[in-house]
Amino acid sequence: MTALFGLDLRGRSVLVAGGGAVAARRVRRFVSEGALVTVVAPQMHEDLERHALHGDVVLERRGVAPHDLDGAWFVLAATDDRELNDAIAGWAEDRQVWCIDASDASQGSARQAAMSKHGDLAIGVLSLDAPDPGRIRAVRDAIAAHLDAGEVDLRRRRPGAGRVILVGSGPGDPGLITVRGRQALSEADVVVTDRLGATELLVTVPYDVEVVNVGKSPDNHPVPQHEINRILVDRALAGKTVVRLKGGDPYVFGRGGEEVHACIEAGIDVEVVPGITSALAVPARAGIPVTQRGVATSLLVTTGHAGADAASVAAMAAGATVVILMGVTALPDIVDAALAGGCDPETPVAIVENGTTSRERITRGAMTDIVRICSETGVKPPAIIVVGEVARPGLLAGALAATPEP
């Protein structure tokens, strides 16, 4: 019977005998786990050469000898000589060092599992009988897909220290949350959620997960930021895994830095899972490239809460793309400031409401007309405002053909 153990190879010496494709593939795994890898072989695969250039491994260009195993915690015998691999496995056995024999797993004392990582969990699959790499990879991939789809309850069962995970849920479409973000929701005892982002994901959490809605709108802030911070800290101090589900990315006008600071001050473990910011994703989904060769090569992202700042006015006047979040209410002031600052009155503007969702709507107009058009059509937040030539209708239909190669 084969027993399964997890080995911590961080900072520990691993010897790889052999410099071919098999060795190169296995070395990637050892390097990613933080092992101190030495490869001994007369010739080296190009991937091993690249690892050496980056300082990830040490290469010894010669044949392997028994003394190479001295001080090693783990050995991989992956030469192209089956008898030599078996001999290396014997040297490892004599020294009581774990060894994988790439030629014949039955000759070694260890087997390498097909692994996948899911937050603070790792799934490993290996063959107990004759090695069958294709089979174990297929099983691993099927299990990994099941976990990453949020179909497994990953909450901790044993009491422990609480933690907070700030998750950027993306611009609204639940399919645009990251894999790690989806995993984090499966680990949550408590979800503290905004009104923006992929809130549809909340229907997938178990019924006994506490959901705290702290969503804000432009003229309604029912839960102030200091109270949100307190909720996160209190639940985590009670030993809960708390997911702070935020729209877009936590650090792009999401006050994520304040929430992380509160957790650090309280001595709480905190993880930040980046999200796809609506500043880039919403225009992209609406067919608006925020940069385009020959049209706009610079981009400024700003918030409309305080109206138009000097940097955004200068960028608009210079012809750069300016993306404004939370700017619908302040749009008249922004337009006045832009025109006074030298922005071309015919500069295209596109406003995308409820981007990436089934309720998405795009309103377009020139700088001088956009406020009137928004008033007539009833534009409301949440919306992303894009200012610049990239917002011109039909840009992509002709831009690529008209833009020469540099």
pLDDT at 159 over 80: yes
Q: Are residues 24 and 66 in the same domain?
A: yes
More confident site: 112 or 46: 46
Task: Tell me the pLDDT band of 4, cut-offs 50, 70 and 90.
Answer: low
Considering the entire predicted model, what is its pTM? 0.77
Task: Tell me the pLDDT band of 133, cut-offs 50, 70 and 90.
Answer: confident
Note if 117 is an active site residue.
no
Catalytic residue selected from 68, 101, 173, 194: 194
- What whole-number percentage of the chain has pLDDT above 90? 64
Q: Are residues 371 and 337 in the same domain?
A: yes
pLDDT in tens, 160-208: 899 999 999 999 999 999 999 999 999 999 999 987 777 788 888 888 9
CA distances from 368 to 283, 330, 331, 335, 347 (A): 21, 15, 12, 8, 8
- CA angle (140 as vertex; 138, 145 as ends), nearest 5: 95
Four-point Cα dihedral 230, 233, 238, 243, nearest 10: 110
Residue 402 lies in a domain: no
Give me the CATH number covering residue 72: 3.40.50.720
pLDDT at 402 over 60: no
pLDDT at 158 over 70: yes
> Count of CB atoms within 10 A of residue 95's CB?
14
pLDDT in tens, 230-252: 999 999 999 999 999 999 999 99
pLDDT in tens, 64-104: 999 999 999 999 999 999 999 999 999 999 999 999 988 87
Tell me what pLDDT residue 204 has.
84
> In angstroms, how far is CA 37 from the centroid of its own chain?
28
Tell me what pLDDT residue 287 has.
94
Residue 403 lies in a domain: no
Tell me what pLDDT residue 124 has.
82
Counting the structural domains of the chain, the total is: 3
pLDDT in tens, 372-401: 999 999 999 999 999 999 999 988 886 555
Residue 125 lies in a domain: no
pLDDT in tens, 14-65: 999 999 998 998 898 899 889 999 999 999 999 999 889 888 899 999 999 9
Q: Are residues 271 and 286 in the same domain?
A: no
Distance (Å, whole) CA 269 – CA 267: 7
Q: Are residues 252 and 299 in the same domain?
A: no
Give the mean pLDDT of the chain. 89
Exposed e or buried b per residue across 389-402, where buried means at least 16 C-beta atoms within 10 angstroms of its C-beta: bbbbeebeeebeee
Sheet holding 383-387, edge to edge: 299-303, 321-325, 383-387, 348-353, 361-366
Tell me what pLDDT residue 200 has.
84
**What backbone torsions phi and psi does residue 378 show, to the nearest 5 degrees?**
70, 45
Residue 229 lies in a domain: yes
- Domain boundary pick from 84, 99, 115: 115
Task: Tell me the pLDDT band of 1, cut-offs 50, 70 and 90.
Answer: very low
Distance (Å, whole) CA 311 – CA 390: 19
- Domain boundary pick from 249, 276, 303: 276
Give me the CATH number covering residue 237: 3.40.1010.10
Q: Are residues 271 and 284 in the same domain?
A: no
DSSP string over 331-368: HHHHHHHHHHTT--TT-EEEEEESTTSTT-EEEEEETT
Parallel, antiparallel or unpaired: strands 98-101 and 74-77: parallel
Among 183, 167, 182, 158, smallest CA distance to 239 is for 158
- Domain boundary pick from 224, 253, 276: 276
> In angstroms, how far is CA 194 from the centroid of its own chain?
20
Catalytic residue selected from 56, 86, 148, 216: 216
Task: Tell me the pLDDT band of 299, cut-offs 50, 70 and 90.
Answer: very high
Distance (Å, whole) CA 287 – CA 308: 25
Distance (Å, whole) CA 79 – CA 64: 9
Residue 233 lies in a domain: yes
Among 129, 74, 125, 87, smallest CA distance to 105 is for 129
Residue 333 lies in a domain: yes
Q: Are residues 253 and 303 in the same domain?
A: no
Q: Are residues 270 and 356 in the same domain?
A: no
Q: Is 11 left (phi over 0), alpha (psi -120 to 50) or beta?
A: left
Residue 124 lies in a domain: no
Q: Are residues 304 and 247 in the same domain?
A: no
Q: Which domain holds residue 224?
A: 163-276
Specify the amino acid at residue 105. A
Give me the CATH number covering residue 312: 3.30.950.10
Distance (Å, whole) CA 7 – CA 94: 20
Tell me what pLDDT residue 314 has.
94
Q: Are residues 168 and 272 in the same domain?
A: yes
3-state secondary structure of 386: strand
The residue written with tokens 């190669």 in the block is: 405
Residue 348 lies in a domain: yes
Distance (Å, whole) CA 160 – CA 156: 8
